[in-house]
Amino acid sequence: MILEQLRRRRGRALALAAGILVAATSFTLLTATVSTSRATTVGTVQKNARSAYDVLVRPPNAQTDAERRDGMVVPNFLSGTFGGITLDQYRRIRGMAGVDVAAPVANIGYLMVNSRVTVDVSRFLDGKASRQILRIRPTLTAGLGSYRTSDQYVYLTRSPLTSVTEDYFRSRTLEKAATEKSTRRYQLDGKYDVCFYFNRDKTQLTEFGVDLPMKPNLISEDRREISAFDPRLNSWMNCQSGQGKATIDIPVSYPVLLSAIDPQAEDRLVGLGGTVTSGRMLTENDKPWKVPPPKSSYGGYDFYVPALLSSNPLTTGTLDATVERLDVGDPARLPSKLGNPTAVDFVHGLHGTPVGRIGADLSKGYRKALEEDSFDTSDYWTVGPVTYRRTSGDHLEVQTQPAQKPGLWVTNQDRQPVPYVPEENQGTQYRKVVSHPSTNCFGMDACKETDYGRLPNPLVRLVGRYDTGKLPGFSPLSDAPLETYQPPQVTGADTATREALHDKALRPDRNLGGYVSPPPTMLTTMDSITALTKSRRTPTLQDKAPVSAIRIRVAGVSGVDAASRARVNAVAGQIRAAYPRLQVDVTVGSSPAPQTVVLDATTHVTERWVAKGVALRILRAVDTKSALLFVLVLVVCALFIGQAALASVRSRRTEIGTLRCLGWSSGEVLRLVLGELFAIGLAAGAAGTLLAYVLGRLLGQPDAGTKSLLVLPVALVLATVAGLIPAWLATRMGPMEAVRPPVAAVRRARPVRSVAGLALLNLLRVRGRTLLGAAGLALGVAAFTLLLALTLAFRGQVAGSLLGSAVVAEARGADYLSVALCLLLGAAGVVDVLVISQRERAADLAVLRATGWSDRELARATLYEGIGLALLGGLSGAVAGLLVVLALGQGVLHGHLLVVAGAALLATLAATALVTAALAIPIRSLSRIAPAHLLAAD
């Protein structure tokens, strides 16, 4: 009986089989795509979830308001932290259960390392002059600022320059010239020192209060009244002998942040030992040592601390200078004018003729400093953190600090100005800068307040040099702030800022109060901390609590799985329980989250802050979205098949009523309907298995063969389960259904005045069928609306970080396939209902054609029915979808209400267009059948 029914109604059976085939195959492929997308997403998250460390411990109150509010870690947290964690706290944390590596960083302070940038000016020389002076007027460009720097000079003579050594004086720039009575007393051995007075006697003061001109000596003049930023203070004259070759050494200094580390822990954490380019790595045995007087630099005991120096400068800047040839007058008189206390005024007053331009990079001078093996620590400086506030546009605005005070750049040597202070320190200040003079003291006045009970000032002795570029790479999607070795990434956020930066990143300059501070460039051992912090005149927090941060790697952590999270949380919990005031941040599973930072009204930059817990939020969102996609697609497929089965049952009302008249029981009718659906599902599933395998291979899905085998059981289950309700309804039909038309009862006759009116009347006559068709499309549009809202909510949960953006990009394919399948199945259901309706009403249509209605009018009536049905279902689905989303919570639609509503309306219009296009085929085929044939069949 079942096979006979399928053979007799093979058109309907094939249509239902095609529907089951499409639904089962699409469901299997889509769920496989969703599973693959989820596996890819989870793999991406697990692969990029771990950075250099899992837990970050900072001093009390280290967390800014912006960090606390947004659950982030500021990338430049370390550069503004100088102490706050005691060594005892560090040792206890290091020994806690579960801690694999605990790597401390103790920022000591910024040293000023002096060097020179050499530029060749030979091509600008006057080849005929016996003596001449060239001047360069440099402009420094660093970051977003430009600064006029001190003029620099070169004096070139064809006469030889000789040297002399006295008890208190060493000079190599003595030149013989015609003796003048007024300058006789400034000569040494009958020669003029042509560089001393310009370079060492800026004030033209007398010697030691005696009314005699200054003579060359070790301690030349008192400059305490001169600002460290006075242009004349840093002007330098290079005195050279020769012809055709001249260079100018531009004096520069570089802020080098000295920090203490645990060499063994640092090597285990980031592989620091593999970055050493010369010398050797620091070891745990490296401690401060003392050198006795015979080997001392100053005749007493010298104290040294070991250190590594970065071979790459972490500050940037370029010099661009105009070269001028000075009008010196009579060249023969130059030695006497330079070897005179008035040399500074004389040289600066000379007129210059521009002859060209030169440029240089500041990094050249830093590389010269690498040749030194020891550095003085008589003065160093610390800086404070940056302060942020949220703007109305949800940006971060940096609060500026007052300009640096003049007393910040004064040495212990009779309160003299620090030489060669970087010009950038006159720029905008974002951090508070504090100087830390040492107990070492030369001169008279400043030594009166010295605390001689503290430690002497040590020297830094290099044991090696390292290259941060050789550090092992960590995933850029999960980079925690590794500020020990690299500055934060800051780029222009708008066109104006990007143009000002020349499309480059904003790198640290030499401004200690600048926004982007240079990270540690010089590393020493933890044992050296006391020798440095207790050699300062004034005790600070660094004496008692020198550690700035502790970075912790937890044992047994492989990602953000449950076991790894438990281990990390256990370690973080131990630290919080032992030291509640310390700031403990769990950084495993974090990812850079770009933030817009407002430096001033015209400067907006993008900086990668670190969002905590991104990986965990992504995994939770992926699991939730995958489950909802699975359920929604399954429901849509099941409803499509159920709708088709129900439409089939309704189209067989006469047949089923006849069977009931012949004595068929309800159970036999139930088995007949379910048996037909099972047979159709079996055939569709077998064909779908082959189709799914071919499509899976074409789409590049892994395990396409295994997944294609799921189509058969899915088709059988969908066909059987979806057919239960239609089969049950079939059992409810009685014998009278054989002669009762499936239309609503007639209440009052209404005239039909238009084709659109006829279409509306047809929809109202079969209200159940109309609602059935509209329900299918409504479910499709509602599912689309809900899927879109969930997708936007998912992206809202995981976006905002680099890892989240990568995951969203990977997850889009499954989202779009889900939406497309929902709409296609909904539209197919509408077309199916309309086709059945047209077949049932074929006799009515034949009567209309026989009474004068044209094929065009009948086609319009059918088309209007389809449009009305599609609009009814689409709009109902859009409203229902929005109501469901609202019921799930405002958070799902936060910021996306208009987008989702507009997309739902567009989906309704798209479904209407799809239904309209699909109706063209049945309308055309029905118009070809002769009315007489239809009436005879009826």
According to the model, what pLDDT value does residue 811 have? 44
Q: Is 145 exposed, middle or buried (0-12, 13-18, 19+ CB in 10 A)?
A: middle
pLDDT of residue 369: 83
Q: Can you tell me the distance from the alpha carbon of 789 to that of 833, in angstroms, rounded to the nearest whole number?
A: 29
Q: Are residues 804 and 891 part of one domain?
A: yes
What does R_g of the chain's alpha carbons equal in angstroms? 43
pLDDT band per the 50, 70, 90 thresholds, residue 477: very low
Residue 281 resides in a domain: no
Residue with more model confidence, 510 or 478: 510
Judged by average pLDDT, the poorest of 113-127, 357-371, 430-444, 495-509 is: 430-444
pLDDT top residue among 312 and 265:
265
Domain presence at residue 102: no
- CA dihedral sign, ordered 920, 924, 927, 929: negative
Q: Which of 126, 370, 102 is nearest to 254 (CA)?
A: 370
How many CB atoms lie under 10 A from the CB of residue 365?
24
pLDDT of residue 212: 46
Residue closest to 821 by CA, chosen among 32, 41, 40: 32
Is there a contact between 250 and 362 (Cβ–Cβ < 8 Å)?
no
Residues 888 and 768 in one domain: yes
Indicate whether 343 and 198 sit together in one domain.
Answer: yes
Whole-model pTM above 0.75? no
Distance CA 226, CA 708 (A): 85
Chain segment 817-873, per-residue pLDDT in tens: 666 766 777 777 777 767 766 666 666 666 777 777 776 777 777 777 778 877 888
pLDDT at 475 over 60: no
The predicted structure's pLDDT at residue 137 = 96
Are 693 and 840 in the same domain? no
The pLDDT value recorded for residue 682 is 80
Distance CA 910, CA 898 (A): 18
pLDDT tens readout for residues 684-694: 778 777 776 77
Q: Which domain holds residue 191?
A: 122-245+318-361
C-alpha–C-alpha distance, residues 86 and 60, integer Å: 11
Ranking 50-54, 161-165, 543-547 by mean pLDDT, the lowest is: 50-54
Confidence category of residue 367, pLDDT binned at 50, 70, 90: confident
Residue 597 located in a structural domain: no
Which structure tokens are listed for 7? 């053979």
Q: Which of 500-504, 627-631, 809-813, 929-933 has the lowest mean pLDDT?
A: 809-813
How many domains does the chain contain in total? 3
User: Is 596 a residue whose pLDDT tops 80?
Assistant: yes
Place of tokens 């239904």: 915
**Which of the residue ranges 329-338, 568-577, 885-894 would you say has the lowest mean pLDDT?**
885-894
User: Of 696, 717, 740, which residue is a domain's last?
Assistant: 740
Domain match, 823 and 920 both: yes
DSSP 3-state assignment of 56? strand
Is residue 198 domain-shared with residue 344, that is, in the same domain? yes
Of 442, 638, 534, which Cα lies nearest the Cα of 24? Answer: 638
User: Is 694 in the same domain as 764?
Assistant: no
Q: Are residues 651 and 683 in the same domain?
A: yes
Contact 742, 840 (CB under 8 A): yes
Q: Could you count the other beta carbons within 10 Å of the beta carbon of residue 769?
A: 23
Q: Which of 813, 824, 729 is nearest to 768 (CA)?
A: 729
Q: What is the pLDDT of residue 433?
A: 95
In this predicted model, what pLDDT tens digit does every residue of 381-432 receive, in sequence order?
999 999 988 887 778 899 999 999 888 998 876 678 888 999 999 999 999 9
Is residue 852 located within the same domain as residue 769?
yes
Tokens representing 41 are 């997403």
Does residue 549 lie within any of the structural domains?
Answer: no
Q: What percent of the chain has pLDDT over 70?
A: 64
Query: Is 84 in contact with 60 (CB distance < 8 Å)?
Result: yes
Residues 814 and 926 in one domain: yes
In whole angstroms, give the CA distance from residue 644 to residue 673: 13
Q: Who's near 885: CB < 8 A, 6+ residues apart?
A: 785, 786, 789, 892, 893, 900
Res 501 pLDDT > 80: yes
Domain end residue (candidates: 673, 707, 740): 740
Residue 33 pLDDT > 70, yes or no?
A: no
Q: Token pair 């930023």 is at which residue?
A: 229
Residue 265 lies inside a defined structural domain of this protein: no
Q: Do both 730 and 808 map to the same domain?
A: no
Under 8 Å between Cβ of 807 and 649:
no
* 710-734 mean pLDDT: 70
Give the pLDDT score at 443: 43
Q: In the block, which residue shows the tokens 């960090």?
A: 67
Whole-number Cα distances in Å, 110 to 121, 385, 533, 881: 33, 15, 12, 61
Q: Of 322, 310, 509, 312, whose CA–CA distance to 425 is shortest?
A: 509
Output the average pLDDT for the chain.
76
Task: Give the model's pLDDT for residue 32.
Answer: 59
What φ, ψ does residue 851 adopt, rounded to 5°? Answer: -95, 10
How far apart are the C-alpha atoms of 676 and 268, rounded to whole Å? 69
**Residues 626, 631, 636, 640, CA torsion sign:** positive
Task: Please answer whether residues 778 and 876 qualify as being in contact, where contact means their C-beta atoms are separated by less than 8 angstroms.
Answer: yes
The answer to whether position 474 is within a domain reads: no
> What's the rounded mean pLDDT across residues 492-514?
90
pLDDT band at 46; cut points 50, 70, 90: very low
For the ranges 3-17, 124-138, 263-277, 662-676, the lowest mean pLDDT is seen at 3-17
Examine the pLDDT at 83 and tell me if it is beyond 80: yes
The three-state secondary structure class of 746 is coil
Residue range 758-808, pLDDT digits in tens: 667 766 766 666 776 677 677 777 777 766 666 665 555 444 444 344 444
User: Which of 628 and 40 is assigned the larger pLDDT?
Assistant: 628
Residues 6+ apart with CB under 8 A from 754: none
Task: With respect to residue 727, please indicate whether it lies within any of the assigned structural domains.
Answer: yes
Q: How does pLDDT run across 601-623, given as a tens digit for each residue?
A: 889 998 887 776 554 555 555 55
Single-letter code of the amino acid located at 722: A
Using the predicted structure, report yes or no on whether residue 251 has a pLDDT greater than 60. Answer: yes
- The answer to the question of residue 313 being in a domain is no
Q: Domain end: 303, 327, 361, which one?
A: 361
Question: Alpha-carbon distance 777 to 868, whole Å?
Answer: 12
Shared-domain flag, residues 807 and 895: yes
The pLDDT value given to residue 59: 94
For residue 839, what pLDDT is reported?
Answer: 66
